[in-house]
Structure formats: C-alpha cells, structure tokens
Amino acid sequence: MEAEDLKISFVRPHAELRPYIESFWLLESPTGLPGSATSIAAPNGCSKLIIPYENSIISEANGRTQRSYANRMYFVGNRDSATLIRSSTQKTGFIAIEFRPHGAFPIFGVPMSETFNQLWETDCLFGQWSREVQLAFNDLEPVDTKVAYIQDRLILLLRKNRCERGLVSYCVGALRSADGRISIRELQQRTGYSRRYLDRLFRQHVGLSPKVLAEIFRFQRFYRAWAEGRPFDVIKAELYDHYYDQSHFTKEFRKMTGHSPGKFIREVSNEFGRRLVRHQA
C-alpha cells in the first residue's frame, strides 16, 4: 500500500462532546492497511470507539491477535503498550473516536479499569444501547450520515449518564501540560489527596494509574517530535533529560512502539501514526 492511498479525514466533534473527545477521524483505503509491522497505534492515553464499515481490522497487542469485523462496534480501553494494526488488501473504511483520558467514563458510565489493555465488542460492555445504535448505524448511508448519527447518540448518552470529577480533569491536565514530568507526590501536594485515592479514582475514570499516564505523556513528547520530522539526533539529548538514563528511555520506548529507538527511526514508516499525531499536536 502506498502512503498516498491512505486517507484520514478528521471530524470536528459537536460542541457538547468536545470536552470528552480527543480526536474523531475516518480512515479510508482502496487497498487496506499494510501487512508488515508499519501501522502502529502507540499509547496516547485515549480509549477508543472503533466502527469498521468496510473490511475487518486485525490488531496485535500484548501477544494477542484480534479481528474487528465490519458492521460491528468495538471499544478499545486505554493501553500502555503498542498495537499493530493491519487488514486484508481490499477496500477498507472505519470510524474512530478517541476519548480524552478521562472522557469515556462520563459518557458510558462503565469503569475504565474493566477495559484496560482490552478490545471489546460494545454489546458486551454497553448492552442494549450498543445493539440499538449498531442496528441503526448499519442501515445508514453515506458515511457522513453515519458520523452524524453516532455523534447524536453519544450526546444523548452523555446527557443521561454524565458523571464527572473535576479532580481527575485537573490531574490529567497537569500531567499533560508537563509532558508527564510531575511526580505523583506533587499531585498529592497540589490536590490534598492520597496516592491511593488518586490511583483508585484514575482507574475508574481513566483505566490506568497517574504514574502510567505520566509515562505515556512523557513518551508522546518524543512521538510528536518524530511526527513533525525532526531528526532523532537533534531531540534525543533533550529526551534523555526526561528519563533516569538511556536504558530507561529505551525500555519505555520499546514498550510504547514495539521497537528500539534506532530500529523505529530507521525501519518503521508508520505513516498512519504520523498523520494522527500531527493532527493532534
């Protein structure tokens, strides 16, 4: 598959959904996704609603391979390691909604700890709501109508379930603005809450602990620089300041991408990941 065959179109979420959605996009390709390990979904702190409408998507994460079938809906919980994605070489299209780290819980009301590092068919998580939405969604054409419909249903669900904690929003914002370089002790001092309480709150609302989310945000600093095309030699000295030492950086980098830094820079094109990060930066 040539890079120019891959089309990713971004949707501006409805105003009521913007506080909860990180990005909303459609992927279309006449020849599918590459079969080699070049399409990587690196952890970004976002859970996702994935809706394939043409062709199936195959994902590999944590040693497990799963297939997401066309005309079904899937929820991907927050992950702390890389996912490889591919498809067969035929026309492919899917919708992806990436929620802010604390954005899915207020809408769906399901503890995010139950979804961590997992891919679910939404019927198993969201029951009757999922079945009704999926049935109507599959009857709609064109794809713009599908997009409008899923936004409308998410808004209605948000109005019904809305459950928010300003404390989580504050902590996520503090971690993100500092690229993960705030210690959990500092979060305790700023908020007045114990580490144990913050961990419990984060696992419910985000699906992972503040420490793991900080690691993801720290890695994303490099990932954004890579997506912008900056040479690795230029940015690596700055990046090492974010880690205990070079081996610490390499260990986390391998977990987030599945590759060592050198191999990733030399051999992995990941145009899919590059376009997503550029838009979100």
- 146 shares a domain with 27: yes
pTM metric for this prediction: 0.92
- 180 shares a domain with 157: no
- 202 shares a domain with 142: no
Residues in the chain: 281
- 19 shares a domain with 150: yes
Domain limit, last residue, from 135, 161, 187? 161
Record the tokens describing residue 68, joined without a space: 């997401």
Cα–chain-centroid distance for residue 4?
A: 23
Amino acid at 147: V
Per DSSP, what are the bridge partners of residue 58? 67, 86
- 68 shares a domain with 199: no
- 117 shares a domain with 46: yes
Per DSSP, what are the bridge partners of residue 232? none
- 147 shares a domain with 190: no
CATH of the domain at 15: 2.60.120.10
Phi then psi dihedrals of residue 196, to 5 deg: -60, -45
Grouping H, G, I as helix, E, B as strand and the rest as coil, residue 43 is coil
For residue 138, the model assigns a pLDDT of 95
For residue 196, the model assigns a pLDDT of 96
For residue 1, the model assigns a pLDDT of 43
Q: Determine the Cα angle at 172 with ends 167 and 178, to 5°.
A: 130
Domains of the chain: total: 2
Domain limit, last residue, from 110, 141, 161? 161
CATH of the domain at 219: 1.10.10.60
- 78 shares a domain with 59: yes
Question: In a structure prediction context, what are the per-residue pLDDT tens digits for the chain, which is 281 residues long?
Answer: 445 578 999 999 999 999 999 999 999 999 998 665 568 889 999 999 999 999 999 999 988 999 999 999 999 999 999 999 999 999 999 999 999 999 999 999 999 999 999 999 999 999 999 999 999 999 999 999 999 999 999 999 999 988 778 999 999 999 999 999 899 999 999 999 999 999 999 999 999 999 999 999 988 888 888 888 777 776 666 666 667 677 888 888 889 988 888 788 777 777 788 777 776 65
Domain limit, last residue, from 111, 145, 161? 161
- 222 shares a domain with 156: no
Distance of alpha carbon 172 from alpha carbon 211, whole angstroms? 11
Domain that holds residue 199: 166-280
For residue 44, the model assigns a pLDDT of 94
- 113 shares a domain with 182: no
- 155 shares a domain with 19: yes
Residue 153: CB atoms within 10 Å: 16
